[in-house]
Amino acid sequence: MDDPLEIHIPVDSPLWNHPVLGKILKVYSILENDGAYELSWDHAKHMNHCCHSNTITTGWGFDIAVRDIQSGEQIRGDYGMYNVDYDMDLVCEFTDCRKRIKKDDFDEWAARWETQILDALTFSSQVAQPLWEVMDEETRQTLERYLQTGEGYCSVRGLKYRLPQQT
């Protein structure tokens, strides 16, 4: 799902070489599956990490709650799915915290995320979805078709950036 206010910056953009802007882009942008970086207009949409996240980004490009989120609880995601190109130390309050986000986390955890998304989608009709009305028409139709027929699922694995094949 594309947000028309997001800025997409190709890896070959001269902005990456700018002494100030390049550093800002590295911190605040996210590598997308097409190899471009996305700089969000809404920094609040990016959330804190937790190994036991309560939301996951779907293959459609929107986040879904994968369990009940309690009043006052932070909305948190798993940074492992953000196509990081470097390892990052982390801390969350769980005793089984992974302690580190690694470049290969996407491959290691994708099956778990997929299961959580599929489970959450089975309950989506039982809970009000007030934000679905701002979803772009194509995404909403594809999602509704999947929910009605089980066909056309958009896998979280589609979010992974893959290096272009060398010729």
Residue 43 three-state SS: helix
- Residue 38 CA to residue 93 CA, distance in Å, equals 29
Quote the DSSP letter at residue 137: H
Which residue ranges make up each domain of the chain?
A: 1-46, 50-159
Summarize pLDDT for 21-72 with one digit per residue, the tens: 888 888 788 778 788 888 877 665 556 778 888 999 999 988 999 999 999 8
- The pTM for the full model equals 0.72
- Residue 34 CA to residue 56 CA, distance in Å, equals 19
Helices within the chain (DSSP H only): 21-28, 105-123, 137-149
Quote the tokens at residue 141: 């139709």
Nearest Cα residue to 1 out of 60, 86, 79: 60
What's the pLDDT at 50? 83
What's the pLDDT at 45? 57
Q: 20-43 in b/e burial notation, b at 16+ Cβ within 10 A?
A: eeeeebeeebbbbeeebbbeeeee
